[in-house]
Homo-oligomer: A and B are copies of this chain.
Amino acid sequence: MQTVPPALERLIEELTRLPGIGKKTATRLALYILRRPASEALSLAETLSELHKSIRLCGSCFAFSETDPCAICGDARRNTRLVCVVEEPGDLMAIEKTAVFRGVYHILHGVLAPMDGIGPRELKVRELLTKIRKGDVDEILLATSSTVPGEATASYLMEQLEGMQVRVTRLACGIPMGMDIKYADEHTLARAIESRQSMAS
């Protein structure tokens, strides 16, 4: 028997398509939305409808932005000759939060995943190489994740950049700040030892 009203069931199904949202969470969220005033659901609906209309990709760094160039690429105080290459817009947001990086970005929109049919052409690789060939870049900071696909993507880019007049750097890997060494996994610890740094005297 139909004990869940179809309109509610539909919302539960749609929420289940979101990453990390299972049937139980979707049901809880849908019931919450239903219990709250209709105005809140309508407000969320409107925000969702506007989302893709207002946001485009920045033509230079491919970040999500309402303007082209985006706020970062259009900021005269940023060093456009230092380019940080990240996988996803979320990575850009994480790095911006540190307020340490004063260069600009280049968003690949993914990582190499040959098994899923994602090669360099599916990513913004060609656009990056064009930028460098034009001589607009002094340093490329490869800030892909230290996961297997992230490392593979960084290696691929490093090969492509060989012989080009550009310095290539990579985010440092090591023990996370505040972490007890005995809880660090062996790969991280091995990398931290290999990449050990001289103490300033």
Contacts and interface: CB of A to CB of B under 8 A. Distances in A.
Contact of A49 (B15, B34, B45, B109): B45
Given A3-B72, A55-B5, A65-B5, A32 B18 contact: yes
Copy total for this chain: 2
Given A1-B71, A27-B93, A7 B51 contact: yes
Nearest to A75: B1
Nearest to A17: B40
Given A8-B64, A90-B31, A44 B14 contact: yes
B54 A48 contact: no
Contacts of A44: 14-15, 45, 48
A6 interface: yes
Given A5-B55, A7-B51, A19-B32, 16 more contacts: A3-B72, A3-B96, A7-B47, A11-B48, A11-B51, A18-B29, A31-B64, A33-B51, A34-B51, A34-B52, A41-B49, A42-B48, A44-B45, A44-B48, A45-B48, A48-B48
24 contacts: A1-B75, A1-B96, A3-B72, A3-B93, A5-B55, A6-B66, A7-B51, A7-B53, A8-B55, A10-B47, A14-B47, A18-B29, A19-B28, A19-B29, A19-B32, A20-B29, A28-B90, A31-B90, A34-B51, A34-B52, A34-B64, A41-B49, A44-B45, A45-B45
